[in-house]
Amino acid sequence: MNLPEPPLLVISDRSQARRPLVEIAEAAFRGGCRWFSLREKDLPAAGRRDLLCALVALGRPFGATVTAHEDIAAVVAAAAGGVHLPGGGDPAAARRQLPEGLIGVSTHTPEEAAAQLTAGADYATLSPIFLSPSKRGYGPAAGLNALTAAARLSPGPVIALGGIDEANAGACLAAGARGIAVMGEAMRAADPEEIVRRLLAAIAKK
């Protein structure tokens, strides 16, 4: 399955957000983002489903793909674009529930990324590429060499995540990433629309 274009994934984290998630998502879409994932795993199921429905509706006029982390039931209920599975997730099982959905998996080593893409994931995030306050507790930064190794080993696209900003986004793509993902960079921004525009400009320069 083709990834959304441009290859920029914005992942939600309301614990870092300076504004309501719906406002941040709308600003991101206005800035050119066409791929947004709802990650709020601690929300009650009904609240997460309702928020996902709102985001799907918000993204529709922009042609944006809106996905959710882990919650396949919410994805089905909201007619969202797909699911992002945690490390060790089963993309084949997710595919049985979402035959037309975009399925991604979190990974932290090149070998893990390659294994998940071989198992049927449409993409794998590799993180943290750089040190990031959003990815505390995940060990040392993987670095650009890990991206190169993951791209070489993997039969599908690897998305760089963790400490990505406009200064290093191009380097991630040059190292072999198919796209980039950001969380705190967009959530903490005073102007998420401008941040997205700058990230997309950095991607375009690659």
**Sign of the alpha-carbon dihedral angle for 66, 99, 110, 139:** positive
Which fold would CATH assign to domain 8-205?
TIM Barrel (3.20.20)
CA-to-CA separations, 55 to 49, 61, 77, 99, in angstroms, rounded: 10, 11, 13, 21
CA-to-CA separations, 159 to 40, 49, 51, in angstroms, rounded: 20, 25, 25
pLDDT tens track of the chain, all 206 residues?
Answer: 899 999 999 999 999 999 999 999 999 999 999 999 999 999 999 999 999 999 999 999 999 999 999 999 999 999 999 999 999 999 999 999 999 999 999 999 999 999 999 999 999 999 999 987 655 555 689 999 999 999 999 999 999 999 999 999 999 999 999 999 999 999 999 999 999 999 999 999 87
